[in-house]
Amino acid sequence: MAGGLSALGVYGTLKFGFNTSLMPVEHFLTKHGLLKPDDITRLVEHMDQTGDLFGSKIIAKAWTDPEFKSALMKNANKAISESGITVNGIPFQPENYEIRVVENTESVHHFVVCTLCSCYPINLLGNAPEWYKSLEYRYRAIYQPRALLEEFGLTIPQEVKVKVHDSNRDIRYIVMPQAPKKPAGVENLDALVTRDLMIGVRRTLDL
């Protein structure tokens, strides 16, 4: 990590808005061979994919609150800031970019890339996965989108249109997956909404 910051320290700083001061623990574990740097990277990746995310809570609320969903699709920044949603007691921290939410339907599948660099809504989805920042992903998302999605295990039927959204410095996209048939009756609804669903490299919920 740049500047000597630990992976776990950066994770805490970016995701929750404070430094978790885990560098001494990380140093001890790696020094004594109890943990490898690659293990830490995989741990951070797992936490980002499955932990509490603002994006997950926002999507879950949109599924069960039509008024909020309407506001979210019109002006996501305003709707999120006024939603009162928190993660671990911490309110949403807005950034200087526009958030746009795009909704999957039976006939359209959305997914997100940043072809310029790796622009990504950290305040909604946690740290960007390494593959999102790779040149291969950024290139193939534009020129071979269906083939790229198949490598994530996602085959999009030909009758379903694939729309690729290119995030940049000023605009960041997140995908709203299709809701369960009766979302209000599903417990822990936000836990179903993973980072990969909101990037668009997955399509269906694990019910």
Active site residue 117: yes
Active site residue 114: yes
Report which residue type is found at 126.
Answer: G
Q: Token pair for residue 177?
A: 């997956």
Spot the catalytic one: 6, 56, 83, 114: 114
- Beta carbons within 8 Å of 78's beta carbon, 6+ residues apart: 71
Active site residue 6: no
Spot the catalytic one: 21, 117, 134, 167: 117
Spot the catalytic one: 56, 83, 119, 167: 119
Buried b (16+ CB within 10 A) or exposed e, 4-36: eebbbbbbbeebbeeeeebbeebeeeeeeeeee
Q: Is the dihedral of CA 153, 155, 160, 165 positive or negative?
A: positive
By annotation, the residues acting in catalysis are 114, 117-119
